[in-house]
Amino acid sequence: MARSERLLSLLQALRRHQRPVSGARLADELGISIRTLYRDIASLQAQGASIEGEPGVGYILRPGFMLPPLMFSQTELEALMLGFRWVSKFADEPMTKAASDALAKIAAVLPENLKDELESSALLVGPRTFKDAETVDLRVARAAIRNEQKLRLTYVNVTGNQSDRTIWPFALGYFQKVRILVGWCEERMAFRHFRTDRITVLTNLEERYPKRRATMLREWRETQTDMRYVPDS
């Protein structure tokens, strides 16, 4: 492993740990000797990384440091490119544009050799075989999820029955041919899944719901056994 890639891997390992982690554990994660680890920590500290700790106590990285220029391993670049290509094929139009803008920003600050790796990635995504079916703007749903705000929606189920719901949205699932809005439904007093192509009206009530999004997501996951996300009826 090249030294630059090793330093980046060390930074990533430190970022994964929210509490001080021993040098021995870090060295084991990275597959290097403890002596090499101490030298690498000293190198990062000399470059401005706020790494606190000492041998026998443990190390922690304080937030706010990024190695200039932006660096990724080859596998990380492949993962990024594959993700961007998937989004550009299967996400809604605003998300597709955002992905393209983000990719351009990343490419602009990469060293030339890494930029070449990004552009020549051979991991491909299959063709899109469907058109967007939503009649509502999914940016409204994403904003409500970010801000932990209630949504009011009109939903038409598979049999054509229409109902009005107030939900606490906390997730939006993107699948190859369908998108699912997940939330707590006040009318049903339970978690519900809504196909976005069956939502005819979507309004942000700009009223915060009483739980945190992370809590809702955790509680919902605990109820899911088969993870099929069956749309509400």
Confidence of residue 228 (pLDDT cuts 50, 70, 90): low
Strands 179-185 and 190-195, sheet pairing? antiparallel
Report the C-alpha gap between 188 and 167 in whole angstroms: 10
Q: How many domains does the chain contain in total?
A: 3
8 Å CB contact between 153 and 169? no
**Which among 141, 171, 139 has a CA at the least distance from the CA of 153?**
141
For residue 97, what are the domain limits? 74-119
**Which among 102, 167, 178, 175 has a CA at the least distance from the CA of 141?**
167
Strand order of the sheet with strand 179-185? 190-195, 179-185, 162-174, 149-156, 199-208
> 146 and 112, same structural domain?
no
Q: What is the CATH number of the domain that holds 34?
A: 1.10.10.10
pLDDT at 6: 84
| Model confidence at 41: pLDDT above 60 | yes
Report the C-alpha gap between 195 and 113 in whole angstroms: 43
Q: pTM of this prediction?
A: 0.65
Q: Which residue, of 12, 30, 61, is where some domain finishes? A: 61
Residues 138-150: pLDDT tens digits?
Answer: 999 999 999 999 9
Residues 175-227: pLDDT tens digits?
Answer: 888 899 999 999 999 999 999 999 999 999 999 999 999 999 999 999 887 65
What sign for the dihedral angle of Cα 85, 88, 92, 96?
positive
180 alpha-carbon distance from chain centroid = 16
pLDDT at 12: 81
Residue 11 lies in a domain: yes
Confidence of residue 65 (pLDDT cuts 50, 70, 90): low
**pLDDT higher for 153 or 99?**
153
Report the C-alpha gap between 139 and 217 in whole angstroms: 19
Q: What is the CATH number of the domain that holds 179?
A: 2.30.30
Report the C-alpha gap between 141 and 191 in whole angstroms: 16
What does pLDDT average to over the chain? 86
Kindly state the tokens that stand for 179. Answer: 């998108």
Residue 66 lies in a domain: no
